[in-house]
Amino acid sequence: MGLNTGTWNYLDKYNILDFSKKKKAILMGEQQVWKAEDRGLSDRSLFKNYLRKNGWETESIDMGAHPLEATSLKYDLALSLPAVMLGKWDILFDFGAAEHIRDQYNFWKNCHDLMKPGGVRIHALPPPNSWSGHCKFRYTKNFFKTLCHNFNYKLENFEEFCCNNRDDQRLFICKIINSELDFSKEKFNNNCMKNIEVLHGFVDNESL
């Protein structure tokens, strides 16, 4: 998971990283940086450190093993997060975490619950027929529309791009404005899950 050229272009295009305003950012997964030499960043450096350097209060949540400088919070995103984490973040970044999490309801509920009212979420995730062998879950365009309809989110700036100029490595990326509705398990499982492609029998070593 991490940031590539397409991700950076999206963040720039919509001025997502406005460092003139102090923000509290939460990262779903310890996200690494790729293709950002023009920003003075080396490959595999941490996006979290880049945000902190520019004045944002930032944490990441990841159970995985990463470079020694990674100091992520060791919470399982397939389970409910501690109450002390919830309702305190201005912006959330998910650049390739959701597709690895075994319990999709709990992952998306955690994204919902972490945010302050009106908080911004950026999700960059794989669509069907892409990233063969990479992950268990892939997301249709209708998933994002259905998610936002059911939970009164506002969906903005939905785009699709190819990574490394490869059509089989595509990503959907969008901005979601959070709401204060309860995140209903029944609504999610009955209405949203049907719009996620699930590879049955696939074992994802990143989130067992």
**Region 29-33: what's the mean pLDDT?**
90
Q: Is a pLDDT exceeding 70 seen at residue 193? A: yes
3-state DSSP assignment of residue 108 = helix
The Cα–Cα gap between 4 and 6 comes to 6
Q: What is the pLDDT of residue 52?
A: 96
**Which tokens sit at 179?**
């709401």
Q: pLDDT higher for 89 or 201? A: 89
* pLDDT given at position 67: 61
User: What is the per-residue pLDDT across 118-158, written as a single tens digit (0 to 9) for each?
Assistant: 999 999 999 999 888 888 999 999 999 999 999 999 999 99
pLDDT in tens, 34-57: 877 778 788 778 999 999 999 999
Say which range, 44-48, 74-78, 193-197, 200-204, has the weakest mean pLDDT: 200-204
- Check pLDDT > 90 for residue 92: yes
Q: Over 80: is that where the pLDDT of 205 sits?
A: no
Binned at pLDDT 50, 70 and 90, residue 66 comes out as low
CB-CB contact of 151 with 183 (8 Å): yes
Percentage above 70 pLDDT, the chain: 94
155 strand-pairing partners: 176
- Separation CA 179–CA 71 (nearest Å): 30
Confidence check: pLDDT of 182 > 70: yes
Domains and CATH numbers, the chain: 2-13+24-198 (3.40.50.150)
